[in-house]
Amino acid sequence: MSEGLSRRSFIKLAATAGAAAAVPGCEPAARHLIPYVVPDENVIPGMPTFYASVCTECPAGCGIVARVREGRAIKLEGNPADPISDGSICARGQAGLQELYNPDRLSRPQRRGQGGAFTAASWDEAIKNFNDRLAAAAKAGKDRVAFISGPLGPTQTKIARLWLAAYGSGRMVTYERLADHAARAASKTCFGRDDLPFYRIDKADALISFGADFLSTWGSPVEYHRQYAQFRTPRERRGQLSLARATYVGPAMTMTAAKCDEWIAVSPGDEAAIALSVLSVLLKQGWVSSKSGVDVDALRKLTADFEVATVAQRTGVPADAITRMAESFGQSESAVALAGTDDPVLHNAVAILNAVTGNVGKTVIFADGGPEPVSSPQEIEALVKAMAGSEIDVLVVAGGNPVYSMPAGQKFNEALAKVGFVVWMGTVPDETAAAAHLQLPTDHPLETWHDTHPRAGVRGLGQPVMQRVYDTKPLGDLLLASARAGGAKTEQAPWEGQADAVNATWQELGAKAGGKFDDFWEKARRDGGYFEEVRPAAVSLDSKVFGATAPAERPASPLTLVAAPHIFFYDGRGANKPWLQEIPEPLAQVVWDSWVQIHPNTARGLGVSPNGIVELTTAAGSIAASALFSEHIRPGVVAVPTGQGHTAYGRYANGKGANVLSVLPGWERAVAVKARPTGDVRKLVTVLYGDSQMERGIVQTISIDDLAKGIVPPSDEPKPPQPYEFYAPFEYPKHKWGMTVDANACTGCSACVAACYAENNLNVVGKDYVDRGRVMSWIRVERYFPPKDKADEAPLMQVAPMLCQQCDRAPCEPVCPVFASAHTNEGLNQQIYNRCVGTRYCNNNCPYKVRRFNWSLPEWDEPLHLQLNPDVAVRGAGVMEKCSFCIQRITHAEITALIEKRPVRDGEIQPACVQACPSKAMTFGDENDPQSAMMQRRVKNKVRRYLVLEEINVGPNVTYLRDIYQTKGKA
């Protein structure tokens, strides 16, 4: 290998090698996983193989690389070749493995027998049953078969269509509960387009988000994390170092809001009025781009009722806050406004904002050749109506879990009961599966060929990375076989199975791309897809939209419920993954539960106490969850996270919290609600003691003005000579590993935490043990809020990851009587599990409290244990453990370098957390190499660097960079 090979290209190369090894993966499934009786020459025991694939945990469609050891996928990593993930993936993506190995996964077909209980059936029986019912339905008439699924990607969609056609039906619904239907409608009204734009936040100098929580679930979170980190990197503007200004408008302080300069608390639905008043300021100041060719008079008329003073008075938002954000928006070279609520008027207003300031095409990009849209609410409603009218004989549900997530007003359960035969296909049975007549287990995306089309120019390709865990079949195989049984002719369904069909789809793509198909196909498999630069489509604002952009009068409601998409559970699909349940939600820091976020003032009025159960009753029903007191929500609003409250979604999801989607009458996520304390108390379990860091400088901050002046905060003044050292300092002849963590980039998304769980075989302990302080995470997100009296001179939230600081003078080392905690000559504090007797003194003496003790013997519900990383020892009860900087990765790289007779290259080693971080907040490297990217990051940010708890002089090797804020009240 040549000099300068980065880890990125290493993975690419490894994936190439892996592509050949993937061939056995697409052969018919073996009945059991058998380790190498006849060794595969491409697989060296002990060496990982990397396969590129695509994540299907959310619609963003990040490219991933699966690390496979001895035939089992043990870790998902971002695909460096993929333009969306760029080598990073979020916590939900990491947890995809826990779907693959979920102990509640359906392992064989099941049929509902007499009395409603499910009994196992053979594939032959199940398929015969399925095809017989389909044949009967097709005989009964046209359109009596229907198909509901989540976004399946081009090939599977094609197959599903073909299958439906074979049975004389066209009723296909792509159901995505939290899809941005309003945004799609606005694209149509404003720009006459059917697709959604994508955004270049990194190209903007100012940002306003109206309820778009893009650092959590909105849009493509991994991509937007990366873009936002670039957006927030201080840049020279007009000769002065400045920070791009971000404002969030919404009822609650979401993760995105917490990383903005300003959070403007509004009542749900008032966002549109604020957007229009921003527009009025732009008009008044003459900042509306002349190029946009907009009808300024019409615009004036539109905004006439939305003067800042009027809107401020009507919404209770300070006028100067509106002016400030409008000024920063209007004065910027390029800016972006985002809309994330389900209010169509807001989406129109935001589209106008972007268009009239000339940002469409710059930061808001429409491109031709985008993916097929998900079904609109009207299409979904039409199907449900047909079901309720007994017009459907056979319904196949392959994703989306409509029983759980459909708006209550649709009465989906009742409609489902009218369907003669309901077939569920999927991995882990959910509420919809429980209501089905036949359950057919399908492959996890990591077990089969599939493809995705997240946006124009990005085609993802997923290949099987391992043999099947259970006796499952690809969805496409099932549907194709069924289509043939239903009389589909060979020319309609020319493919053997899903693998063939994917190949055929890519033949078409390859033909478009030109060149030899074999080369194209190999590159696609290696890169995990086919990516091309897209040119922004020329779009223009349709002036007719001005007429459709008047906020309707809303009936005043004393209390509004907002269903807030949970960063890990999303529409509920994440709740069956123990990692996602155990990792604290970054803002609330609550685990294994739902909560009702409520302002203390609102709570007082209702007689609600902290942790007291609140019953929320809407027009559609009621749910109950514990109250979480929070200053970060507008009074008069309560927010409940989505995704919990499952009744039949496996052992990890059932009976946890409440399902807020079940009380939403329609598609809107903000509804009027009545709240009542039940008098019961259920403690919300959190890993966090309090919100204040007590001015201990754990997450430090600096204002952009001080940064521009280069004022080094007092703690960074020249240090007095080192104090007398009792023990001789260690020597680090070769490497000295260290890390640089940028608190300005960190959003608290916890991808690092999930990556650590996956990489280092961390055990999930459950709610009760989390409450007792027995959580095992080696890295955690420290989330604090500034004290109220200092809020002007601080960011809204102070957040940074906390992991072992690998101190030079580590307090954990000398206190261990048995040398279980020892220092390496590469600067690591290593924990030697076999030596540990469990005095726990090391943890007592650790100022950062990053050591974890095994209070019990770690256990994994089978087959979750198949995910365990064989390079990392599984610890027994009674020993201490902690972050090792992923010593297994360091050692792997060092041995590789030794074999190849070369030094270890900078960037070759990436601990799991560093690799996962979507905003690239962490860099790992060698402190002995001043040219390493990690050291350079420290050097280039001299003013921002700090050490946590520096005054205790333990010599940490993790250097943090201060979070940057703009002084409040300044534009």
Partner 1 sequence: MAAAVKDINLDPTFADIDRSVRAILNPPGIAYWLWIAFLVALTLLGAGLWTNQIYNGLQVTGLGDPVMWAVYITNFVFWVGIAHSGTLISAILYLFRTRWRTAVYRAAETMTIFAVATAGLFPVIHLGRPWFFYWLAPYPNERYLQPDFRSPLTWDFFAISTYLTISALFWFTGLVPDVANVREVATGWRKRMYTILALGWQGSDRQWRHFSMAYLLLAGLATPLVLSVHSVVSWDFAMAQLPGWHSTIFAPYFVAGAIFSGVALVLTLLIPMRWIMGIEDLITPWHLDNLAKVVLLTSLIISYSYAVESFVTWYSHDPIEQMTFHMRYFGPWGWMFWVMVACNCVIPLALFSPRIRTSPVPLFIVTIFVNIGMWFERFVIIAGSLATNFEPSQWRFWHPSFTEMGITVGAFAWFLLLFSLFARYMPVISMTELKEGIVWLKQALRQGYADAA
Q: Candidates 210-218, 441-449, 518-526, 766-774 — which segment interacts with partner 1 by CB under 8 A?
A: 766-774
**β-strands 958-961, 737-742 pairing:** parallel
Query: Is 692 near partner 1 (CB under 8 A)?
Result: yes
Q: Candidates 261-269, 466-474, 628-636, 849-857 — which segment interacts with partner 1 by CB under 8 A?
A: 849-857
> Tokens 């937007």 — which residue?
224
CA dist 707 and 962 (Å) reads: 10
Q: Which of 218, 521, 579, 784 binds partner 1 (CB under 8 A)?
A: 784
Query: Is 587 near partner 1 (CB under 8 A)?
Result: no
Query: Is 835 near partner 1 (CB under 8 A)?
Result: yes
Provide the CB-side half-sphere exposure for 891 (13 A, CA).
11
Query: Is 671 near partner 1 (CB under 8 A)?
Result: no
Q: Which of 41, 124, 491, 695 binds partner 1 (CB under 8 A)?
A: 695
Query: Is 829 near partner 1 (CB under 8 A)?
Result: no
Provide the CB-side half-sphere exposure for 511 (13 A, CA).
6
Query: Is 815 near partner 1 (CB under 8 A)?
Result: yes
**Minimum distance from CB of 823 to partner 1 (Å)?**
12
Q: What are the residues whose beta carbons fall under 8 Å from the beta carbon of 895, sequence distance 6 or more?
A: none
Q: Which of 39, 773, 930, 969 binds partner 1 (CB under 8 A)?
A: 773
Q: Which of 30, 44, 818, 971 binds partner 1 (CB under 8 A)?
A: 818
Nearer to partner 1, 759 or 881 (CB): 881
Query: Is 823 near partner 1 (CB under 8 A)?
Result: no
**Minimum distance from CB of 220 to partner 1 (Å)?**
30
Q: Candidates 58-66, 409-417, 716-724, 841-849 — which segment interacts with partner 1 by CB under 8 A?
A: 841-849
Query: Is 489 near partner 1 (CB under 8 A)?
Result: no
CA dist 275 and 303 (Å) reads: 10
- Which H or E element spans position 38? none
Query: Is 949 near partner 1 (CB under 8 A)?
Result: yes
Q: Which of 98, 597, 854, 888 binds partner 1 (CB under 8 A)?
A: 854
Three-point CA angle 766, 771, 774, nearest 5°: 70
Q: Is the dihedral of CA 881, 883, 889, 894 positive or negative?
A: negative
Q: Which of 309, 857, 895, 898 binds partner 1 (CB under 8 A)?
A: 857
**Minimum distance from CB of 822 to partner 1 (Å)?**
9
- By C-alpha distance, which of 206, 209, 229 is closest to 219? 209
Q: Which of 688, 712, 866, 893 binds partner 1 (CB under 8 A)?
A: 688
CA dist 950 and 959 (Å) reads: 10
CA dist 943 and 703 (Å) reads: 11
- Which H or E element spans position 415? helix 412-417
Q: Candidates 347-355, 506-514, 686-694, 731-739 — which segment interacts with partner 1 by CB under 8 A?
A: 686-694
Looking at residue 295, its amino acid is: D
Provide the CB-side half-sphere exposure for 931 (13 A, CA).
2
Q: What are phi and psi of 235, to 5 degrees?
A: -130, 155
Contact yes or no for 201/363 (Cβ under 8 A):
yes
Could you write out the DSSP letters of every residue in 154-207?
A: HHHHHHHHHHHHHTT--EEEE--TT--HHHHHHHHHHH--SSPPEE-GGG-SEE
Q: Candidates 160-168, 479-487, 876-884, 911-919 — which segment interacts with partner 1 by CB under 8 A?
A: 876-884
Nearer to partner 1, 235 or 835 (CB): 835
- By C-alpha distance, which of 196, 644, 688 is closest to 455? 196
Q: Which of 848, 946, 960, 965 binds partner 1 (CB under 8 A)?
A: 848
- Reading across the β-sheet that carries 450-455, which strands appear in turn? 450-455, 458-462, 529-531
**β-strands 110-112, 438-441 pairing:** antiparallel
Nearer to partner 1, 108 or 840 (CB): 840
655: left (phi over 0), alpha (psi -120 to 50) or beta: left
* CB-neighbour burial class of residue 114 (10 A; exposed 0-12, middle 13-18, buried 19+): exposed
Could you write out the DSSP letters of every residue in 66-129?
A: EEEETTEEEEEEE-TT-TTTTT---HHHHTHHHHHT-TTS--S-EEE-GGG-EEE--HHHHHHH
Within 10 angstroms of residue 150's Cβ, the number of other Cβ atoms is: 22
**Minimum distance from CB of 677 to partner 1 (Å)?**
24
Query: Is 960 near partner 1 (CB under 8 A)?
Result: no
> Tokens 């996270």 — which residue?
641
**Minimum distance from CB of 841 to partner 1 (Å)?**
6
Query: Is 787 near partner 1 (CB under 8 A)?
Result: no
Q: Candidates 488-496, 517-525, 599-607, 843-851 — which segment interacts with partner 1 by CB under 8 A?
A: 843-851
Looking at residue 327, its amino acid is: E
Nearer to partner 1, 325 or 850 (CB): 850
Query: Is 681 near partner 1 (CB under 8 A)?
Result: no
**Minimum distance from CB of 698 to partner 1 (Å)?**
7
Contact yes or no for 480/159 (Cβ under 8 A):
yes
Query: Is 845 near partner 1 (CB under 8 A)?
Result: yes
Would you state the structure tokens that stand for residue 478, as one six-digit string?
């099932």
Nearer to partner 1, 242 or 839 (CB): 839
Nearer to partner 1, 835 or 902 (CB): 835
Length of the chain as a residue count:
971
Number of residues that bind partner 1 (CB under 8 A): 54
- Which H or E element spans position 654? none
Query: Is 729 near partner 1 (CB under 8 A)?
Result: no
Query: Is 830 near partner 1 (CB under 8 A)?
Result: no
**Minimum distance from CB of 831 to partner 1 (Å)?**
13
Name the DSSP letter for residue 363. T
Q: Which of 617, 839, 891, 928 binds partner 1 (CB under 8 A)?
A: 839
Q: Candidates 505-513, 518-526, 789-797, 832-840 — which segment interacts with partner 1 by CB under 8 A?
A: 832-840
**β-strands 450-455, 458-462 pairing:** antiparallel
Query: Is 743 near partner 1 (CB under 8 A)?
Result: no
Q: What are the residues whose beta carbons fall under 8 Å from the beta carbon of 563, sequence distance 6 or more?
A: 639, 640, 641, 642, 660, 661, 664, 669, 670
**Minimum distance from CB of 584 to partner 1 (Å)?**
10
> Tokens 């009964």 — which residue?
140
Q: Which of 601, 715, 856, 931 binds partner 1 (CB under 8 A)?
A: 856
Query: Is 797 near partner 1 (CB under 8 A)?
Result: no
**Minimum distance from CB of 263 to partner 1 (Å)?**
22
**Minimum distance from CB of 689 to partner 1 (Å)?**
4
Query: Is 837 near partner 1 (CB under 8 A)?
Result: yes
**Minimum distance from CB of 880 to partner 1 (Å)?**
7
> Tokens 């058998």 — which residue?
34
Q: Candidates 18-26, 667-675, 739-747, 833-841 — which segment interacts with partner 1 by CB under 8 A?
A: 833-841
Name the DSSP letter for residue 965. E
**Minimum distance from CB of 909 to partner 1 (Å)?**
27
Query: Is 727 near partner 1 (CB under 8 A)?
Result: yes
Q: Which of 301, 535, 772, 940 binds partner 1 (CB under 8 A)?
A: 772
Helix, strand or coil, per DSSP, at residue 791: helix
- Give the bridge partners for 702, in sequence order: 964
Q: What are phi and psi of 839, to 5 degrees?
A: -75, -25
**Minimum distance from CB of 772 to partner 1 (Å)?**
4
Query: Is 847 near partner 1 (CB under 8 A)?
Result: yes
Nearer to partner 1, 365 or 587 (CB): 587
Query: Is 409 near partner 1 (CB under 8 A)?
Result: no
The binding site for partner 1 (CB under 8 A) comprises: 687-690, 692-696, 698, 727, 769, 772-775, 780, 782-784, 802, 811, 814-819, 835-841, 843-845, 847-849, 852-857, 876-880, 949, 952
